Amino acid sequence: MSSRPLAVVTGGAGFIGSHMVDLLVDRGFRVHVIDSLIGGRASNLARHQANSDVSLDERDVRALVPNDAVFAGAQLVFHFAGIGDIVPSIERPTEYMSANAQGTVHVLEASRHAGVRKVVYAASSSCYGLAPVPTREDHPIAPQYPYALSKYMGEQAVLHWRHVYGLPVNVIRIFNAYGTRSRTSGAYGAVFGVFLRQKLAGKPFTVVGDGTQKRDFLYVTDVARAFLAAAETDKVGEAWNLGAGNPQSVNRLVELLGGPVVYIPKRPGEPDCTWADISKIKKDLGWAPLVSFEEGVAKIVAEIDYWREAPLWDTQSISEATKTWFQYLGSR
């Protein structure tokens, strides 16, 4: 039996989860990954599996049971598994509530019965809706679409398990994570995946609105560091915002990537700026971002071939894909 501590990472073959696995292995952990591989890639874990540092369980988290063997002996649990994207959540709200809220309950019950030392939940800043910036943790909650609601319901479950069962938990509300290994398949969504595939194809970047909108982009290795700090702190029952605290415009991203641009209509329900007030997480955890936006974009461009099989979006396909968005969010 290995003397190294054990961590469980749900969604650990995915974007943020696989970087979390990297950090944990580097810090001397063994890691049990739970990932259905619908959005993740087993190849993201290959180098660790070869050294027997990481095991992969290809189940949906909703299949977990209270005394699940995967959690036996685990000290830390990091819960990233779930489904994202705005439009599919509007079209399939039941699926989103099941995966993101009920799936979280299954993780909590497995964690509780295993007696883990800490659970850290990956929440979403989308819970704030169209919030003033910089946004603090005490801003009123106002989800604008089912994805945001489902992630917030998962967060509420996490804190409820703390209240009722005494499960040691913390919550991190992620603003705009970016970096290598971000998702390459599925619905029209995050700007990086769209732009990188367009760059590979020599096609123009489809910029929403006039490109002046800003997002609080945080490089993924900085995200993983924050989650580990949230697991190792003595604090429990906390919720922290996580961003760089330095919003960047879409136009700046285009400038760094380099290439022609076409403009598409601005979408309802999207903020002009996301900007995390990160003073609480800095104070409580001693965490601060290390990777600049320019450095992070350069890291991604260096591995751009990762996105070669991603969907190639253009103005027409985006218009078709976002019809539901305009139908339901544009009428308010």
Active-site annotation, residues: 147
Q: Which residues of 240-259 are buried (b: 16+ CB within 10 A; e: fewer)?
A: bbbbbbebbebbbbbeebee
Alpha helices in 175-286 (DSSP H): 191-201, 220-232, 250-257, 279-285
Give φ, ψ of 57 to 5 degrees.
-110, 115
Amino acid at 180: T
Count CA atoms within 13 Å of residue 283 on its CB side: 7
Write down the residue that tokens 């003397």 correspond to: 3
Name which of 36, 145, 155 is nearest 93 in CA terms. Answer: 145
Return the structure tokens found at 46. 């290959």
Strands 54-57 and 74-79: unpaired
Amino acid at 238: E
Q: How many CB atoms lie within 10 A of CB 107?
A: 28
Give φ, ψ of 166 to 5 degrees.
75, 20
CA 97 to CA 90: how far, in whole Å? 11
Query: Where does residue 286 fall: left (phi above 0), alpha (psi -120 to 50 degrees), or beta otherwise?
Result: left
Collect all residues with Cβ–Cβ distance below 8 Å to 92 and sequence separation of at least 6.
none
Strands 238-242 and 169-174: parallel
Q: How many CB atoms lie within 10 A of CB 69?
A: 11
CA 265 to CA 321: how far, in whole Å? 13
